[in-house]
Amino acid sequence: MASKTKKKLTPVQQEYQALAKKREPSKFTFKNLYRSFLVGGLICLVGQTVQQLFVHYGGYSVKEASNPTVGVMILLSVILTCLGVYDKIAQWAGAGTAVPVTGFANAMASAAIEYRRDGIVLGMGGSIFKVAGPVIVFGTIAAFAVGIAYVIFDPNIVGG
Write down the domain spans for the chain.
45-153
Reported as a single tens digit per residue, the pLDDT across 38-81 is 999 999 999 999 999 999 999 999 999 999 999 999 999 999 99
Reported as a single tens digit per residue, the pLDDT across 18-30 is 888 888 876 778 8
| 6 or 156, higher pLDDT | 156
Side chain identity, residue 18: A
Contact present, 157 and 151 (Cβ < 8 Å):
yes
The Cα 99–Cα 89 span in angstroms is 13
pTM of the model: 0.67
